[in-house]
């Protein structure tokens, strides 16, 4: 009986853990996102996110893309938002720079990637309903920072 009580207590305790985000950041699953109000080049954007102990957003699933897309369509009009993706190392091979992993989920906008004018950095672009686009890395745009949320235990029951 004692081992059953301990098991139930552990399950209840772990099920009450929640990712918490700093003020100004939005939570989606275990991650927190900051949608910038200022514009910077892709490299400057990456450095700003790094200063917040985060990185430019990595989009790994349709669900995550839909969250970002919905938030951008709900709160922003115009422009683009930098993410962590780039094909600057090998043209056409898109990677998440913060991890070095190949990008496996994409939701390109119409006629994207177009590889135009040294377009080596990945953004979510308003003119494409915030679908993915390749843009020149020196273009000034907004950006999205991402970090893991702090795990904080909720109320412990029993």
Domain 2-153 = CATH 3.10.100.10: yes
Please name the residue ranges forming H helices in the chain.
2-15, 42-51, 62-75
Residue 34 three-state SS: strand
pLDDT tens-digit profile, the chain (158 residues): 454 433 333 333 333 456 799 999 999 999 999 999 999 999 999 999 999 999 999 999 999 999 999 999 888 878 899 999 999 999 999 999 999 999 999 999 999 998 877 899 999 998 888 999 999 999 999 999 999 988 554 444 54
Kindly list the domain boundaries of the chain, sorted by start residue.
Answer: 2-153
pTM for the full predicted model: 0.83
């Amino acid at each position: 009986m004692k081992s059953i009580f301990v098991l139930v207590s552990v399950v209840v305790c772990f099920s009450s853990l929640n990712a918490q985000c700093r003020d100004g950041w939005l939570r989606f699953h275990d991650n927190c996102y900051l949608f910038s109000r200022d514009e910077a080049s892709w490299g400057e954007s990456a450095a700003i996110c790094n200063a917040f102990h985060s990185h430019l957003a990595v989009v790994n699933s349709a669900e995550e893309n839909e969250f970002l897309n919905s938030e951008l369509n709900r709160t922003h009009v115009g422009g683009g938002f930098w993410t962590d993706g780039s094909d600057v190392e090998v043209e056409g091979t898109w990677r998440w720079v913060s991890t070095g992993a190949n990008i496996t989920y994409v939701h390109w906008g119409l006629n994207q990637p177009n590889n135009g004018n040294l377009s080596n950095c990945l953004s979510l672009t308003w003119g494409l309903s915030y679908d993915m686009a390749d843009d020149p890395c020196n273009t000034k745009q907004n950006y999205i920072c991402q970090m893991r949320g702090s795990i904080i235990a909720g109320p412990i029951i029993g």
